[in-house]
Structure 1
Amino acid sequence: MEKLAEVTTWRDSTLFSEAERLALEYAERITYTDRRVDDALVAELKNHYSDAQIVELTAAIAMENFRSKFNPALGIEAQGFCMVPKRG
């Protein structure tokens, strides 16, 4: 729960490992249209993840991006399965 509470400030948080920070950086670069995944980031990812894990990570990020566009367009509300803790 502590990591979840700090996910929006992951760059400054001491809770995330180097591998987790790379995965979060990767997710941001995939998500934001003004950012790109470059060879340097892929090389860093390969220091921590296998090719299969990178494919799985990419698929998970892409699916969440899909849901973030698909669900609101159809008025699909959160179902309460993932409760994000309030920052306090």
Structure 2
Amino acid sequence: MTESEGGLEKVAEVLNWRDSKLFSPSERLALEYAERITYTDQQVDDAFFAELRKHFTEAQVVELTAAIAMENFRSKFNPTLGVEAQGFCMVPQRNKG
């Protein structure tokens, strides 16, 4: 399996990242970080930051935080102004069952 194939498989599994064997411990931590930043009922406490520092440098944490914050910004900004997806990234539909 090539890296790009693995990447497409990961995109298909991203909604199940906690249970999927496709994600490394660092990737799981980054996804949890994204959730903690995104959801207002969750926090990023000192213990979680300590875990992040085991996997990522300070610069990587800053870059990851900026990327997550930008996507959160877009998720509020774009729908409000009617900005449509441009079709660059096809995300699998979530099962509603």
On whether the aligned pair clears a TM of 0.5, the verdict is yes
TM score, norm. by length of structure 1: 0.95
Q: Letter of the 1:15 partner, please give it.
A: L
Partner of 2:38: 31
Partner of 2:77: 70
Partner of 2:22: 15
Runs of 5+ consecutive residues of structure 2 not aligned to the other structure: 1-7
Partner of 1:2: 9
Runs of 5+ consecutive residues of structure 1 not aligned to the other structure: none
Distance 1:71 1:5 in 2: 23
Which contiguous aligned blocks of 4+ residues in structure 1 show a shift greater than 6 angstroms?
A: none
TM score, norm. by length of structure 2: 0.86
SS in structure 2 at match of 1:12: coil
Relative contact order higher in (CA < 8 Å, ≥ 6 apart): 1
1:34-73 per-residue CA deviation (whole Å, 9 max, x = no partner) reads 0000111111110010000000000000000000000000
CA RMSD of aligned residues (A): 1.4
Distance 2:40 2:92 in 1: 28
